[in-house]
Amino acid sequence: MEKIRLLIADDHPGFREGISRFIDDEEDLEVVAVAGDGEKAVRLATELKPDVIIMDIAMPDTNGIEAARRIKVSTPATAIIMVSGYGYEAYMRNSLQVGAAGFMLKNAPITKLISAIRLVHAGESVYDIELSRRIMSRLYQNGADDHKDSAELLPRELEVLKQAAKGKTNKEIAHDLTISQRTVQSHLANIFRKLSVGSRTEAVLHALKVGWLTPDDLP
């Protein structure tokens, strides 16, 4: 079994060690590195190219948002889950803007975090649907721009992306389009590759910016 390789970035040793201990019990997950500040997280992410990063927002030297932005430039295929002790809307908005695949509170049950790791690795997103819709709509209205040189998606790929934009899981998309979940994952992988992104959140934001989707396509 090929394991999901993880980097945990948080300035609290207790949080890093606690998460690592639980992940060690999962056969399909592996912590390959930990970082206590944003600069080290960027360096390790660039060197190791982990599949998923658990990134604290408030860290010394370079905060998690800036670190995530830099990592998504150098390692776009890496999915990032932002974590915080506070559920500020601004934190989620910033997480969406830098292309993080999800945002979770630190007090969430460990089982939810482990589930989120597997979800983002499969190309899904972990955000509150209603709040993310409002934020994405505002980002679309305030920052829509044109990328005429963007790679074009095939009709079926755009269809899958529109379903993903509504917050549907891979299983729900497969059911609605009468295809297998493996085919959905294949389409998402092609979309991510063409757009140089690492999550459906980034793909949806890109599609909103270039006009392939509108806020009406969101949930």
Q: What is the pLDDT of residue 143?
A: 56
One DSSP character per residue, the chain reads -PPEEEEEE-S-HHHHHHHHHHHHT-TTEEEEEEESSHHHHHHHHHHH--SEEEEESS-SSS-HHHHHHHHHHH-TT-EEEEEESS--HHHHHHHHHTT-SEEEETTS-HHHHHHHHHHHHTT--BS-HHHHHHHHHHHHHHH----TTSPPPPHHHHHHHHHHHTT--HHHHHHHHT--HHHHHHHHHHHHHHHT-SSHHHHHHHHHHHTS--GGG--
Residue holding tokens 């300035």?
A: 11
Domain range annotation of the chain: 4-121, 133-217
Rounded mean pLDDT of the chain?
A: 89
Distance CA 78, CA 74 (A): 9
Token pair 């509504």 is found at 166
Which of 106, 114, 117, 125 is CA-nearest to residue 11? Answer: 106
CATH number of 133-217: 3.40.50.2300
**Any idea of the CA torsion for 5, 158, 67, 3, to the nearest 10 degrees?**
0
Topology alike, domains 4-121 and 133-217: yes
- Per residue in 54-103, pLDDT (tens digit) is 999 999 889 999 999 999 999 999 999 999 988 888 898 899 889 899 99
What are 121-174's pLDDT values in tens digits?
Answer: 988 889 877 777 777 777 666 655 544 445 788 999 999 999 998 889 999 999
> Is the model's pLDDT at 198 over the cut of 90?
no
What is the rounded distance in angstroms from the CA atom of residue 56 to the CA atom of residue 58? Answer: 6
Q: Which residues contact 168 (CB under 8 A, 6 or more apart)?
A: 176
CATH domain 4-121 topology: Rossmann fold (3.40.50)
Contact 154, 130 (CB under 8 A): no
